[in-house]
Amino acid sequence: DTEVTQTPKHLVMGMTNKKSLKCEQHMGHRAMYWYKQKAKKPPELMFVYSYEKLSINESVPSRFSPECPNSSLLNLHLHALQPEDSALYLCASSQELRGVDIQYFGAGTRLSVL
Amino acid sequence: DQQVKQNSPSLSVQEGRISILNCDYTNSMFDYFLWYKKYPAEGPTFLISISSIKDKNEDGRFTVFLNKSAKHLSLHIVPSQPGDSAVYFCAASAVGSARQLTFGSGTQLTVLP
C-alpha cells in the first residue's frame, strides 16, 4: 500500500478566510512533505517534516503554516491567502529505502483563492 | 537556474512503438534519479528510479538509462500504450540531501491508438 490521502480535493476560499489542508499516510513513513504545483510547472517544495519535526522551510510566506500532529498526519493551515496562491497543493511521504528516499504523493488539493 | 531540464514539453508516439523521454541535469552532486507519471487531477506516481552507480534499470516495459558523463538520462517505454498518456517528470536527488527532489518541467506524452 503506497497511499497518501489528501482532503479536501477542492477548496475555494476568500482572502480573509482560514482553512486547513490535511494529509494522511499509514505506511510508517517518517518524512512528509508539502509541495505547491502551478499549471504546467513542476512541483515546488514548501516544507519537509522529518520525525514530526520541521526540517526544511523553503522560504514560504507565513500565511502558510504547517503542522505535524503525529507521524501519520500532516496539516497545512492557510490564512490571508492571495489569489496567486491558487494552485494544486501536494502532500508526499517517504521512508528511506536503501539509502534513498522515494516520495509517494497524494492526489492533491486544488485550491482557488478569490 | 534549472538544475533538471526536460527540453521537450510534449511527445506523440504511435501505440506499440517506443517512447523515449529525455532529461538533462547540471548538478554533479545528484546521485539518484526518479521518473514520475502524472495524470490530470492526480498526484505524481512513482514509476522507476536509478542510482548513479548504475547505467540502466529495467522494470517491465520501462527502462531508464543514465549517462553520467553527459549528465543525461532517458526513459524508454516499449511498447507504448494509450494508458501511458500522461505528463512525465524527471526528478533528481543530491548526495546529503536525499530528502529533497528537484523536478524537471515535465513532458506530456500522448500515445495515439
Residue A9 · residue A3 · CB < 8 Å: no
pLDDT beyond 70 at A95 = yes
**Nearest residue on chain B to A3, judged by CA atoms?**
B45
Q: Cα angle vertex B104, ends B103, B110, to 5°?
A: 120
pLDDT beyond 80 at A14 = yes
CA–CA distances in Å: residue B64 to residues A17, A21, A35, B79, B94: 45, 35, 25, 14, 18
User: What's the whole-number average pLDDT of chain A?
Assistant: 90
Q: Where does the pLDDT of residue A97 fall: very low under 50, low under 70, confident under 90, or very high at 90 and above? A: very low
Q: Where does the pLDDT of residue A1 fall: very low under 50, low under 70, confident under 90, or very high at 90 and above? A: low
Flag whether residue B12 sits within 8 Å of chain A, measured between CB atoms. Answer: no
**Span A49-74, pLDDT tens digits:** 988 999 888 889 999 999 999 989 99
Residue bearing the bigger pLDDT, B95 or A104: A104
Flag whether residue A57 sits within 8 Å of chain B, measured between CB atoms. Answer: no
Q: Where does the pLDDT of residue A99 fall: very low under 50, low under 70, confident under 90, or very high at 90 and above? A: low
Q: Cα angle vertex B66, ends B31, B94, to 5°?
A: 15
**Set of chain B residues whose Cβ sits within 8 Å of the Cβ of A101:** 93, 98-99
**Span B20-49, pLDDT tens digits:** 999 999 999 899 999 999 998 788 999 999
Residues 6+ apart with CB under 8 A from B11: B19, B20, B21, B107, B108, B109, B110
Flag whether residue B96 sits within 8 Å of chain A, measured between CB atoms. Answer: no
Q: What is residue B34's predicted lDDT score, i.e. its pLDDT? A: 95
Q: Which residues of chain B have pLDDT under 50?
A: 98
Q: What is residue B101's predicted lDDT score, i.e. its pLDDT? A: 87
Distance from CA of B59 to the nearest CA of A (A): 16
The terminus-to-terminus CA distance of chain A in angstroms comes to 36
pLDDT beyond 80 at A34 = yes
Flag whether residue A50 sits within 8 Å of chain B, measured between CB atoms. Answer: yes
Distance from CA of A97 to the nearest CA of B (A): 10
C-alpha cell at B105: 518541467
Q: What is residue A75's predicted lDDT score, i.e. its pLDDT? A: 98
H-helix or E-strand spanning residue A20: strand A18-25
Whole-angstrom distance, CA of residue A58 vs CA of residue A44 = 9
A103·B103 Cβ contact <8 A: no
